[in-house]
Amino acid sequence: MRLITIFIFFLLSGNLFSQDCSNYYFLQNNKTVEMTISNKNGKESGKMTYVVLDSKKIGSSITATINSEFVDAKGKTITKATNNVKCENGVMQMDMKTFIPPAQMEQMKPGEAKATDVYLEYPANMNIGDQLKDGQFNMDYESGSGLKSSIEISITERKVEGKESVTTPAGTWECYKISANNKIVSKVAGIGFPIKMDVVEWFAPGFGIVKTESKTGKTEITSIK
């Protein structure tokens, strides 16, 4: 009976951990997260810095507003943005606007972008072999040159491939390896420019995304304050 009681305790403890949202770095007030972006040759091409603002907890849910800034390898600010992240019952949900490449962000005229909030889900209780939910996002905007433009991002065939320990300059985490197909279609004056690539993410449940890789390079956490 005692062994059964202990087993149930640990089972419930694990379930409670999987439902906890408070440890995700994007949901902690005043947290500053720096991610370094490198090209396919390993040369640094820039840094993305996120500052978490206005994190609020309501029941089992937490929402946060995040300011981001991308600077190039010379330290020049290229783009700034404000997005949202939320979590409910252990499922982290990323605003898909955070997946817009800096090159496209740079072309957008400030205050002219229009889009509905769409979130990509990262469940804490994922298992190897799981198929995760797809995400699709559309945004209309006016470019700096005044042309009507749009961007569409599709993230599909998301599969949990395995579990790995990942070390970056910011620390070491046990992560799930998630593969996906990404498609970005940018349209300027109705003319589309599609880009397709395979992407791999390393996600630590209860913490967040640690590293992302594709044929163009990688992005990884290098500082958390």
- pLDDT greater than 70 at residue 53: yes
pTM beyond 0.75, yes or no? yes
Whether the per-residue pLDDT at 178 is higher than 90: the answer is yes
Q: Which helix (H) or strand (E) holds 2?
A: helix 2-19
Q: How far is Cα 63 from Cα 51, in angstroms, rounded to an integer? A: 14
pLDDT reading at 131 higher than 50: yes
Q: What is the pLDDT of residue 109?
A: 60
Q: Can you say whether the dihedral through the CA atoms of 99, 216, 211, 129 is positive or negative?
A: positive
Structural domain for 51, as ranges? 2-224
We report the CATH number of the domain holding residue 88 as 2.40.360.20
Report how many domains make up the chain. Answer: 1
The burial of 104, by beta-carbon neighbours within 10 Å (0-12 exposed, 13-18 middle, 19 or more buried), is given as middle
Q: What are phi and psi of 40, to 5 degrees?
A: -65, -20
Is residue 23 very low, low, confident or very high in pLDDT (cuts 50, 70, 90)?
very high
4 vs 103, which has greater pLDDT?
Answer: 103
Cα 21 from Cα 112, distance rounded (Å): 33
| CA dist., res. 220 & res. 213, Å (int) | 9
Cα 224 versus chain centre, distance: 15
Confidence at residue 159, expressed as pLDDT on a 0 to 100 scale: 99
Q: Which residue has the higher pLDDT, 19 or 83?
A: 83
Nearest to 126 by CA among 83, 177, 187: 177
